[in-house]
Chain A
């Protein structure tokens, strides 16, 4: 295995620096931002509120509606044309499903909780950052939920399982001059409910073998517990009592 030292010197199970803050969008019922490395996501939550058109309503419980958008200047290369596209619609759907099993809207039939996620800047791991921000925003809005949902992308580079690949690491074999054990890279976004260890988002892009998959998922699952603490602290910070009053 050649990839012993990561490009930025991180340990295999270390994420980039994380920063999270709750209550950042005043008009929203709940909001947050979540930064991991250079990837930065805002989330705003509105609801529960009545859902139109009526045919979308669920008479047993409220639903979560998720919208993921990259701001046009947030991509690593060219401008991203504003508006929904197929990729953003798919990410919106899997993100919504990642949150569905923790959110409990049985007391709010026929309503919707709208989660709006927008990213001003991305550097890999954007859908995971979006889910993390959304989770804080939902809690901030007082939405009933069993637990936070934390998400992080695991990865495989040169046969080494590691966490939170940066954009550069994802493209490592393309530009490195080193001789690698394997040209394959895999990107595995994982979302997890920390208190139960259950996985609510799992995707994989790239090439890897079966045993690496389980290692990667376990690595992500462990990290999600720590990320959930950061998410909870973001809300605690908002309500912190400063010793001097105001």
Chain B
């Protein structure tokens, strides 16, 4: 174990001097768990998802190791969505107040959609009068919206006043692991476009782990299975090809896709 680590050490830090007592115990894309020792010695620096304890660096969250030079950080693999400004998400209306709707956004906190933020190009351009909020959006509706602000109390404000944002009509909603959303979308949308091409589905992926699809009944199950496949296998290399093969087999269509850059670069 020690010899292997020293080899990896040399590869990662070819051009840099390292103290002889520093040891990196993990490599890029390793899954690490809280309390796991990632490195020993003072040559490495802890960052997101890691912390220093005496001469060791430990993980403080379930995540995937990402090395950036001497900085060790992890990409989280589990946990609820953390709202970020400008993220496009899907929220579900849970309550109607005097001037705003409360939305469940699959996070630790709910979001508010103020009646002043309802606008855009789908016919909601008039500012709803007070008291008639329930005529625009009802409890249970799914709204495709954008995060405008997250304040220090983690209160999130969203808007539908932007291109493409609207109440989602019909279709079906799936909850996925928010950390898998980038793989479900793919580089420049390559993965989601591949699923759309194969199944003729309309598909919207919220950064918060809520996915909306509207499909021909024949292909709905296939689209859902493809999404679940990505969710479960995202940490296993060769994902794009596997999904492509799966979709081609299920829909008997030949798919033409741009290869995911990560796959070319990857393991």
What does the 1/0 interface line of A211-242 toward B look like (CB < 8 Å)? 00000000000000000100010011001010
| Cβ contact within 8 Å between A142 and B35 | no
Q: Total number of A-B contacts with CB less than 8 angstroms?
A: 85
Q: Is B42 an interface residue (CB 8 A)?
A: no
Which residues of chain B in 77-113 are interfacial with respect to chain A, using CB atoms and an 8 Å cutoff?
77-80, 82, 108-110
| Cβ contact within 8 Å between A245 and B35 | no
* Cα of A49 to Cα of B104 in the assembled complex, Å: 11
- Total number of B residues with any Cβ neighbor in A under 8 Å: 28
Report A-chain residues with C-beta under 8 Å of the C-beta of B109.
50, 110-111
Q: Is B61 an interface residue (CB 8 A)?
A: yes
Q: Is A130 an interface residue (CB 8 A)?
A: no
Q: Is B126 an interface residue (CB 8 A)?
A: no
Chain A's interface size range is 35 or more
Classify the secondary structure of B's interface with A.
Answer: loop
* Cα of A140 to Cα of B62 in the assembled complex, Å: 7
Report A-chain residues with C-beta under 8 Å of the C-beta of B235.
239, 241
Who on chain A is nearest to B235 by CB?
Answer: A239
20 contacts between A and B (CB under 8 A): A48-B80, A108-B154, A110-B154, A139-B34, A140-B78, A142-B79, A146-B51, A146-B60, A147-B58, A194-B35, A195-B53, A196-B53, A228-B35, A232-B36, A235-B31, A235-B33, A241-B236, A245-B236, A245-B242, A246-B233
Known contacts A50-B109, A239-B31, then 13 further A-B pairs from the complex at CB < 8 Å, ordered by chain A residue: A29-B80, A30-B78, A49-B108, A108-B108, A140-B78, A142-B80, A144-B60, A146-B34, A146-B58, A147-B58, A195-B35, A235-B33, A245-B238
Give me the 7 closest cross-chain CB pairs, A-B, nearest first: A142-B79, A142-B78, A147-B35, A48-B108, A145-B34, A239-B31, A232-B33
Enumerate chain B interface residues (CB-CB to A < 8 A). Answer: 31, 33-36, 51, 53, 58, 60-62, 76-80, 82, 108-110, 153-154, 179, 233, 235-236, 238, 242
